[in-house]
């Protein structure tokens, strides 16, 4: 597959996403190991959608990251339902039609706080959901990440591509990314940052957990990363979302 956007050699500097270069008919699949991963790169998804791309969200159900103090009873089933509703609410705010949102039928590991297993049954479920959309680009968290759910979904997508479905991946820099090459950047200003903040706030359980355990909200946690990207790259804009672009396998 030929990547529809310009790419760069490692170390030669990032390419700014230009909506004017989005080719007609582009199909983008955001694959989220958890509800809220789509929101971490919402400005990029908005730019692509507004330029005419067909954007899909594939989200793993999850109960991870919800403190017992947030809900009653604090069971995995209640926590999962809450997180799904938060994601549905945020994507409706974004303007993504319900028929472009799929909650993946994957098996999760209770011993790993409900993170998806990296096994054959989940590979089949992921492939059955994602491949009919025929995505040109898949967007997902980076495999070099401290979050096991991020690593496992990255591994499953890599295996899906290796099974005969090569694709281009945009790997996200988020707060738990250990290290990555930055190939593609979406720069944005204060107005879009406030829009993104409002979208992130729909994830009320994650906002509560961040306030309780880190002393700042979920919105600040994500936007602080976006601010650091823009600062580190000396961009004119105050915020940016960053991606490593790779062909897989």
Task: Say what percent of the chain tops pLDDT 90.
Answer: 80
pLDDT tier at 232, thresholds 50, 70, 90: very high
CA–CA separation, 157 vs 127, rounded Å? 8
The CATH label, of 3.40.50.10320, 1.10.132.20, 1.10.3720.10, 3.20.20.70, for the domain at 15-248 is 3.40.50.10320
Q: Which residues touch 9 (CB under 8 Å, ≥6 apart)?
A: none
**Which one is predicted more confidently, 12 or 202?**
202
For residue 72, CA distances in Å to 68, 115, 153, 169 come to 8, 22, 29, 39
pLDDT tier at 22, thresholds 50, 70, 90: confident
**Which one is predicted more confidently, 239 or 111?**
239
The residue length of the chain stands at: 249
pLDDT value for 138: 95
CA–CA separation, 92 vs 15, rounded Å? 30
Helix (H), strand (E), coil (C) string for 182-246? CCEEEEECHHHHHHHHHHHCCCHHHHHHHHHHHCCCHHHHHHHHHHHHHHHCCCCCCEEEEEEEE
pLDDT value for 2: 42
pLDDT tier at 12, thresholds 50, 70, 90: low
Summarised one tens digit per residue, pLDDT across range 130-179 is 999 999 999 999 999 999 999 999 999 999 998 888 888 999 999 999 99
Q: Where are the domains of the chain?
A: 15-248
Model pTM score = 0.92
Q: Is the pLDDT of residue 8 over 70?
A: no
Q: Is the pLDDT of residue 242 over 80?
A: yes
Q: Is the pLDDT of residue 68 over 60?
A: yes
pLDDT value for 182: 93
- Pick the range with the lowest mean pLDDT from 1-10, 47-56, 86-95: 1-10
pLDDT value for 154: 95
Q: Is the pLDDT of residue 13 over 90?
A: no
Summarised one tens digit per residue, pLDDT across range 181-191 is 999 999 999 99
Q: Is the pLDDT of residue 9 over 70?
A: no
CA–CA separation, 139 vs 28, rounded Å? 7
pLDDT value for 231: 97
pLDDT value for 203: 96
Structure tokens, 152: 């496992």
């Amino acid at each position: 597959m030929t990547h529809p956007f310009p790419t760069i050699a490692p170390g030669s500097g990032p390419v700014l996403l230009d909506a004017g270069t989005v080719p007609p008919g582009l199909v983008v699949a955001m694959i989220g190991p958890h509800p809220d991963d789509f929101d971490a790169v919402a400005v990029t998804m908005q730019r692509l959608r507004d330029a005419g791309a067909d954007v899909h969200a594939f989200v793993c159900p999850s109960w991870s990251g919800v403190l017992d103090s947030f809900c009653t009873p604090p069971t995995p089933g209640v926590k999962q339902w809450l997180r799904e509703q938060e994601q549905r609410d945020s994507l409706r705010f974004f303007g993504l039609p319900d028929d472009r949102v799929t909650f993946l039928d994957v098996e999760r590991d209770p011993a790993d706080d409900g993170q998806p297993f990296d096994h054959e049954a989940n590979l089949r479920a992921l492939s059955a959901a994602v491949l009919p959309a025929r995505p040109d680009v898949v967007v997902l968290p980076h495999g070099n990440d401290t979050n096991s759910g991020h690593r496992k979904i990255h591994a499953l997508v890599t295996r899906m591509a290796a099974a005969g479905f090569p694709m281009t991946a945009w790997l996200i820099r988020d707060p738990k990314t250990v290290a990555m090459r930055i190939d593609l950047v979406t720069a944005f200003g204060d107005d879009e940052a406030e829009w993104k903040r409002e979208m992130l706030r729909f994830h009320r359980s994650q906002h509560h957990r961040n306030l309780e355990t880190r002393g700042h909200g979920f919105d600040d946690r994500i936007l602080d990363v976006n601010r650091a990207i823009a600062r580190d790259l000396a961009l004119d804009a105050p915020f940016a979302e960053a991606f490593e672009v790779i062909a897989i396998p």
